[in-house]
Amino acid sequence: MQISINDADVFVSTGGRVADEHAPVLLFLHGSGQTHLSWLLQARFFANRGWSVMAPDFPGHGLSGGAPLTAIETMADWCHTLIMAAGHKKVTVIGHSQGGLVAMELARRHPEYVAGIGLISLALAIPVNPQLISMAEDNEPAAFDAMVTWGHGHDGAFHDHPMPGNSHIFMGKRIMASNPEGTLAVDLKACAAYADGEQAAASITQPAMVILAGDDSMTPCKQGEALAAAIPHAELVKIEHAGHMLPIERGDDVNRALRRLFEQTGA
């Protein structure tokens, strides 16, 4: 569906279904340089099981217009505006990587709108190599290559995708390349600049789940475990033999875990 936010057209995937207005709402937030397609294996799955799914493309990403937002805090406020524009009062928010930082910040800034929080492939902070930012600023394909190749575990790197015939690596590169020039750099700089992870994590009072990938080389498990420890009562789920792009590499396992969270949140 299309929603206008701050005078820009925003695309929000509903997983192919328009849920009834009483259905509990799931807000899925994608990571740096990504789009709603990060949730290929979650959006349709949950939309067809009674949830109302919202998986937006952030401004300047995928099918959304506007310019990319430059700070995690701004993205969190933008999500708040989106929730209100869609007419919702409470959502369970699920964030992947950068989307996880936004989800935490949304829960800190607008806790009354958040019923629960799922954080996937995330740590308290996402430091970014300045060289990668520089390559992304110059829109060098090498930046996409680095993100995509290091973003996948063994199976993904060898193009072994759960959807028959699909390639993790080249799908990832195409998604990044389809965004306007410079989008990835804006995202990476926003991640690198965000320093409030510990405070945001500590402020979460809603049911929370942290889902980590055993072979994540971008937000290593150890750092993800520190995040889980910093969130009061967070459930930690570790999925082995997968990389940073966990939702697409291990869709079934991620969905099984998230479903448990959604049952807790009443979402």
Considering the rule CB under 8 A, would residue 94 count as an interface residue with other proteins? no
Stretch that binds other proteins, among 13-21, 88-96, 127-135, 198-206 (CB under 8 A): 13-21
Token pair belonging to 223: 């750092």
DSSP per-residue string spanning 214-243: TT-SSS-HHHHHHHHHHSTTPEEEEESS--
> Under 8 Å CB-to-CB from 53, ≥6 apart: which residues?
13, 14, 15, 17, 19, 25, 26, 28, 42, 43, 46, 47
Specify the amino acid at residue 58: F
Token pair belonging to 188: 């990476």
> Under 8 Å CB-to-CB from 98, ≥6 apart: which residues?
30, 31, 32, 72, 126, 187, 190, 191
CA 27 to chain centre: 9
Number of neighbouring beta carbons within 10 Å of residue 19: 19
Considering the rule CB under 8 A, would residue 152 count as an interface residue with other proteins? yes
Considering the rule CB under 8 A, would residue 166 count as an interface residue with other proteins? yes
Stretch that binds other proteins, among 21-29, 113-121, 123-131, 163-171 (CB under 8 A): 163-171
Q: Pick from 71, 85, 157, 192 the residue near other proteins by CB under 8 A.
A: 157
Number of neighbouring beta carbons within 10 Å of residue 203: 16
Token pair belonging to 213: 């990938």
Considering the rule CB under 8 A, would residue 158 count as an interface residue with other proteins? yes
C-alpha span between 89 and 42 (Å, rounded): 22
Q: Which is nearer to other proteins, 167 or 264 (CB)?
A: 167
Q: Which is nearer to other proteins, 35 or 97 (CB)?
A: 35
Q: Which is nearer to other proteins, 157 or 226 (CB)?
A: 157
Q: Which is nearer to other proteins, 15 or 24 (CB)?
A: 15
Q: Which is nearer to other proteins, 198 or 252 (CB)?
A: 252
Stretch that binds other proteins, among 82-90, 126-134, 171-179, 181-189 (CB under 8 A): 171-179
C-alpha span between 41 and 183 (Å, rounded): 24
In the bound complex, what is the minimum distance in angstroms from residue 46's beta carbon to other proteins?
9
The answer to whether residues 147 and 183 touch, using CB atoms and an 8 Å cutoff, is no
For residue 183, which phi and psi values (nearest 5 degrees)? -60, -45
Considering the rule CB under 8 A, would residue 196 count as an interface residue with other proteins? no
Considering the rule CB under 8 A, would residue 154 count as an interface residue with other proteins? yes
Stretch that binds other proteins, among 97-105, 112-120, 126-134, 144-152 (CB under 8 A): 144-152
Residues 19-78 that bind other proteins (CB under 8 A): 35, 37, 40-41, 43-45, 48-49, 62-63
Considering the rule CB under 8 A, would residue 164 count as an interface residue with other proteins? yes
Stretch that binds other proteins, among 101-109, 113-121, 147-155, 179-187 (CB under 8 A): 147-155
Provide the binding-site residues for other proteins, judged by CB under 8 A.
Answer: 11, 13, 15-17, 35, 37, 40-41, 43-45, 48-49, 62-63, 145, 149-150, 152, 154-155, 157-167, 169-171, 174-175, 177-178, 251-252, 255
